[in-house]
Amino acid sequence: MWNFVEETARDVFRAYNFQEIRTPIFESTELFARGVGEETDIVAKEMYTWEDRSRKSPLTDAPHEAAADVLGGGQSLTLRPEATAGIVRAYIEHKLWDRGLNKLYCIGPMFRRERPQKGRYRQFYQIDAEIIGPASAGSDSPARDAELLEMLATLLDRLGIAGWNLELNSVGCPNDREAFNQALRKALEPVVGQMCADCQRRAVTNPLRVFDCKVPADQPIIEKLPRISQFLDEPCRRHFDEVQQILTKVGIPFSLNDRLVRGLDYYTRTAFEFTHGALGAQNAILGGGRYDGLSEALGGPPAPGIGFAIGEDRLVMSLPQSAESVLKKPDVYVAALGTGMNGEAARLARELRRENLVVDLGDEGFRLKKSFEAATRAGAKYILIVGENEVKADAFALKNLASGEQVSVPRGELAQKIRA
């Protein structure tokens, strides 16, 4: 199932001209503090962080200076809790703006110390994609937002996930959020004492995060708070309107959710989630948004960007298919029959694999009945008999295991016959 998801994702990304990037499993802690936000739950409570130590020489008890230089002795390091900050760090470090518009994706493990629950683990896996580059390359265009969202709809459809819902919001620019935060603090003052401990902390450090709250008792209070949509300036409003117009034009359904803020500080303008009912209360399959100021926050040049992360663990749980239905089964099982036939069978299997057929290989020590049983268990479509008579004739008995039809096929025609 995981291979099916990842192969499908790679095929879809290829169609949209995305290229793979691989970033380290751990980075400097400062990267996430600056990029994700010190007051976010991820940085404040969930990261796996440690102080690096100088490595000692295997021959002495003295610190191995060369190793210490390489490892950065004393540096605070963190297992990556998400992928975007590391990708933007790589964008800056390797001057990827020279490539113009970068369309990048990565697939791999992330780490967060949160309460394990259905589909959420402390080591979890994400499929992540980003569009980033200088504004002159079009990275700030609403067309990029719509393209990314249309690609995600294509991916979910290709995976067979029906009934998804795309929720959209705009969280505006920093000026919009400053005005909104002031209004939010004022609205929270008389009621925050009735809310959960996390909301009381967020009301002081970052009021926008109050909208992340999932505590049922807090929802009636949150429902009455001001909305970011009331504070958008004209450029942000126009940008969001154009994203919606393009999605409508290409036939991607969506709903507006002005409570959607996402959980990380780097988001600007478009924010989104795809949800699905199969996952229960925690029903988000994936989410993301625009982060036009993240590169500057990490010390890089202006580089507007937009991206998303799919929780692969949760996505696999949403699939309607079974593992059996997506398993690539052998096209043919090559059965060696008789002493000295292993080499001939291996030679024939190699020829068929060169024709991009999936081939399973038996052993000359098996009796014919055992070879048939093995071919059936493997789910092979055909069994191909390689015995002394077949080798001499250079034509081989090929049996369709479903229909029972058996024919003799010359070596040169085998691949075409099996594929047909």
Inter-CA distances, 237 with 28, 183, 211, 242, 253, Å: 36, 19, 21, 9, 20
- Under DSSP, the state recorded for 43 is I
Whether domain 2-173+233-318 has CATH 3.30.930.10: the reply is: yes
What average pLDDT does range 4-24 have in this prediction?
Answer: 96
- Dihedral angle computed from the Cα positions of residues 361, 366, 370 and 376, in that order, rounded to the nearest 10 degrees: 0
Q: List the 332-337 sheet strands across, edge first.
A: 359-361, 332-337, 382-387, 395-400, 406-410
Whether domain 328-419 has CATH 3.40.50.800: the reply is: yes
Cα angle 350-353-356, degrees, rounded to a multiple of 5: 160
DSSP string computed for 175-198: HHHHHHHHHHHHHHTTTGGGS-HH
Mean pLDDT (the chain) is: 88
CATH 3.30.930.10 domain extents, the chain: 2-173+233-318
Give the model's confidence band at 41: pLDDT under 50 very low, under 70 low, under 90 confident, else very high.
low
pLDDT of residue 264: 63
The yes-or-no verdict on residue 73 having pLDDT over 70 is no
Inter-CA distances, 401 with 329, 345, 405, Å: 13, 19, 8
CATH 3.40.50.800 domain extents, the chain: 328-419
pLDDT digits (tens, 9 = 90+) for 203-241: 887 788 888 788 899 899 988 888 888 889 999 999 999
For 354, the token pair is 């060169």
Q: List the 123-132 sheet strands across, edge first.
A: 19-20, 102-111, 123-132, 305-311, 284-290, 268-275, 165-170, 255-256
pLDDT digits (tens, 9 = 90+) for 350-383: 999 999 999 999 998 899 999 999 999 999 999 9
pLDDT digits (tens, 9 = 90+) for 292-329: 989 998 999 999 999 999 999 888 888 877 767 777 89
In the chain, the amino acid numbered 120 is R
What average pLDDT does range 258-283 have in this prediction?
Answer: 76
For 363, the token pair is 């052993």
Give the model's confidence band at 349: pLDDT under 50 very low, under 70 low, under 90 confident, else very high.
very high
Q: What is d(CA 31, CA 85) in angstroms, rounded to the nearest whole number?
A: 7
* More confident site: 181 or 54: 181
Give the model's confidence band at 75: pLDDT under 50 very low, under 70 low, under 90 confident, else very high.
confident
pLDDT of residue 54: 57
**Paired sense of beta strands 255-256 and 165-170, if any:** parallel
Helix (H) or strand (E) holding 249: helix 234-250
Q: What is d(CA 282, CA 236) in angstroms, rounded to the nearest whole number?
A: 29
